Amino acid sequence: MNPFFLLGRGFLKILSDCGGIFLFFLKSLIYSFSPPYRFRLLIKHMEFIGVKSWLVVILTSLFSGMVTAYQVNIALSKVGSQSILGGVVALTLTRELGPVLTAVVVIARAGSAISAELGSMRITEQIDALKIMAVNPIQYLMSPRLWAAIFVLPLLTAIADLVGIAGGYFIGTFLLHIDPGLLTARMIDMVEFKDIMSGIVKSVFFGAYLVTVCGYKGFYASGGAEGVGKATTEAVVISTVGILVSDYILTTIFF
């Protein structure tokens, strides 16, 4: 087949997906402001996306903070600046690692489940059944999930920041024998409120983005069980890559 045709087709598919995802987001958002308001579903999804993810987020951020401290110390020791280790680790976590790792963990744990659940509902005609019963399926299935992710991701990110910094502090003081007072003082000197808030604002965006992409892929899945599997894989890949790309863009905007 003509390579230009394949390239063009792939490009058009990406464009169509981007447009579809954006419209899906807008619909999920707009429908959430019209009754019936589904507070019970909001709480249920906050529990699923947030409460059930906290342990994985803690484990991931703890070890990321520890390994960051360890590696950064090797670099800093070459220029004799080990005293700023605490500040560097805290900055890395609050600005980048905290929100990005949290989003990736939530994609793996909750995003993939959302995509698979909606995909399964699509192929068994449960989404059509909602329509038949005069229930708006996007409002019922997506709007509560969107707000749940928007509320919960910043909280998880804050936990990740705190635990990651604690991991870095632990390595700095107990393994690398840096003075705890100096470590904390540099951390306070170097990290500003803006650094913490930039990570939190990023996490709000990531929450809305990952739920929209995973929901969209599941909602429009087709082709039986194989189609659901494909939709789930695409959801995880697109949302993870998108998080990394958008993290770069948001960082250049914020700093």
Binding site for other proteins (CB under 8 A): 36, 120, 124-126, 128-129, 131-136
Nearest alpha-carbon partner for 243 in 71, 102, 48 = 102
- Please state at what angle helix 98-106 crosses helix 193-219, rounded to 10 degrees: 20
- Of 1 and 79, nearer to other proteins (C-beta) is 1
Residue with the two structure tokens 């590696």? 71
Tell me the closest approach of the beta carbon of residue 130 to other proteins, in angstroms: 9
**Number of other residues whose CB lies within 10 A of the CB of residue 46:** 19
Q: CA neighbours within 13 Å on the CB side: how many for 177?
A: 0
Token pair for 169: 């502090």
- Of 126 and 184, nearer to other proteins (C-beta) is 126
Token pair for 139: 């409002």
Nearest alpha-carbon partner for 70 in 94, 88, 55 = 88
- Of 23 and 197, nearer to other proteins (C-beta) is 23
- Of 125 and 189, nearer to other proteins (C-beta) is 125
DSSP three-state, residue 32:
coil
Tell me the closest approach of the beta carbon of residue 129 to other proteins, in angstroms: 4
Tell me the closest approach of the beta carbon of residue 164 to other proteins, in angstroms: 35
- Of 144 and 164, nearer to other proteins (C-beta) is 144
- Of 133 and 253, nearer to other proteins (C-beta) is 133
Tell me the closest approach of the beta carbon of residue 35 to other proteins, in angstroms: 11
Tell me the closest approach of the beta carbon of residue 131 to other proteins, in angstroms: 6
Tell me the closest approach of the beta carbon of residue 193 to other proteins, in angstroms: 43
Helices (H), 79-179: 85-92, 98-106, 112-123, 126-132, 137-141, 143-170
Sign (positive/negative) of CA torsion 79, 81, 87, 90? positive
